[in-house]
Amino acid sequence: MTEKGTLLVEKHTYVFNVAPDSDSRTIARAVEALYKVKPVAVRVVAIPGKRMWVRGKQGKTARGKKAYVTLKKGEVIDFA
Protein backbone atom coordinates (compact mmCIF):
# COMPACT_ATOMS: atom_id res chain seq x y z
CA MET A 1 0.00 0.00 0.00
CA THR A 2 1.47 3.33 -1.04
CA GLU A 3 0.78 6.74 0.44
CA LYS A 4 -1.41 7.65 -2.53
CA GLY A 5 -3.30 4.38 -2.14
CA THR A 6 -4.03 5.01 1.53
CA LEU A 7 -5.33 8.50 0.75
CA LEU A 8 -7.65 7.07 -1.91
CA VAL A 9 -9.14 4.60 0.59
CA GLU A 10 -10.75 7.57 2.34
CA LYS A 11 -12.55 8.25 -0.98
CA HIS A 12 -13.67 4.57 -1.17
CA THR A 13 -11.17 3.81 -3.97
CA TYR A 14 -8.70 0.91 -3.85
CA VAL A 15 -5.64 0.42 -6.07
CA PHE A 16 -4.64 -3.02 -7.40
CA ASN A 17 -1.80 -4.18 -9.66
CA VAL A 18 -3.45 -6.34 -12.33
CA ALA A 19 -2.33 -8.40 -15.32
CA PRO A 20 -1.53 -6.38 -18.48
CA ASP A 21 -4.20 -8.21 -20.52
CA SER A 22 -7.09 -7.68 -18.07
CA ASP A 23 -9.96 -5.28 -18.68
CA SER A 24 -12.30 -3.38 -16.36
CA ARG A 25 -15.18 -5.89 -16.58
CA THR A 26 -12.92 -8.80 -15.66
CA ILE A 27 -11.46 -6.82 -12.77
CA ALA A 28 -14.94 -5.89 -11.49
CA ARG A 29 -16.03 -9.54 -11.54
CA ALA A 30 -12.85 -10.63 -9.75
CA VAL A 31 -13.28 -8.01 -7.00
CA GLU A 32 -16.89 -9.08 -6.56
CA ALA A 33 -15.91 -12.75 -6.28
CA LEU A 34 -12.90 -12.28 -3.99
CA TYR A 35 -14.06 -9.54 -1.62
CA LYS A 36 -17.89 -9.87 -1.79
CA VAL A 37 -18.41 -6.18 -2.63
CA LYS A 38 -19.85 -4.67 -5.82
CA PRO A 39 -17.68 -1.98 -7.46
CA VAL A 40 -19.35 1.24 -8.58
CA ALA A 41 -16.55 2.10 -11.03
CA VAL A 42 -13.31 0.56 -12.26
CA ARG A 43 -10.63 2.66 -13.96
CA VAL A 44 -7.62 0.98 -15.57
CA VAL A 45 -4.26 2.70 -16.14
CA ALA A 46 -1.52 1.14 -18.30
CA ILE A 47 1.99 1.39 -16.86
CA PRO A 48 4.55 1.25 -19.70
CA GLY A 49 7.83 -0.62 -19.42
CA LYS A 50 10.88 1.61 -19.06
CA ARG A 51 14.33 1.29 -20.61
CA MET A 52 17.25 0.90 -18.25
CA TRP A 53 20.95 0.15 -18.37
CA VAL A 54 22.55 -2.66 -16.34
CA ARG A 55 26.31 -3.26 -16.54
CA GLY A 56 26.58 -1.57 -19.92
CA LYS A 57 23.66 -3.43 -21.48
CA GLN A 58 20.26 -2.05 -22.19
CA GLY A 59 17.26 -3.79 -20.67
CA LYS A 60 13.61 -3.08 -20.09
CA THR A 61 11.40 -3.19 -17.00
CA ALA A 62 8.11 -5.05 -17.16
CA ARG A 63 4.96 -3.25 -18.21
CA GLY A 64 1.79 -3.56 -16.17
CA LYS A 65 -1.61 -2.17 -15.29
CA LYS A 66 -3.19 -0.62 -12.23
CA ALA A 67 -6.88 -0.77 -11.46
CA TYR A 68 -8.63 1.90 -9.40
CA VAL A 69 -11.76 0.29 -7.94
CA THR A 70 -14.40 2.58 -6.40
CA LEU A 71 -16.95 1.17 -3.97
CA LYS A 72 -20.23 2.47 -2.56
CA LYS A 73 -20.08 4.65 0.53
CA GLY A 74 -20.00 2.39 3.58
CA GLU A 75 -18.52 -0.65 1.80
CA VAL A 76 -14.96 -1.57 2.78
CA ILE A 77 -12.45 -4.18 1.62
CA ASP A 78 -10.76 -5.78 4.63
CA PHE A 79 -7.29 -7.05 3.72
CA ALA A 80 -6.54 -8.50 7.17
Q: Please check the confidence at residue 32 and state whether its pLDDT lies above 70.
A: yes
Q: What is the pLDDT of residues 11-24, one digit of tens each?
A: 899 999 999 999 99
- Burial label for 16, CB within 10 Å (0-12, 13-18, 19+), is middle
The predicted model gives 45-49 an average pLDDT of: 94
CATH number for the domain that contains residue 22: 3.30.70.330
In a domain, 38, yes or no: yes
Q: What does the alpha-carbon distance between residue 14 and residue 72 come to, in Å, rounded to a whole number? A: 12
pLDDT bin (cut points 50, 70, 90) of residue 58 is very high
Q: Is there a contact between 77 and 71 (Cβ–Cβ < 8 Å)?
A: yes
How many domains does one find in the chain? 1
Q: Please check the confidence at residue 33 and state whether its pLDDT lies above 90.
A: yes
Residue 34 domain boundaries: 3-71
User: What's the confidence (pLDDT) of residue 80?
Assistant: 66
Q: What does the alpha-carbon distance between residue 17 and residue 45 come to, in Å, rounded to a whole number? A: 10
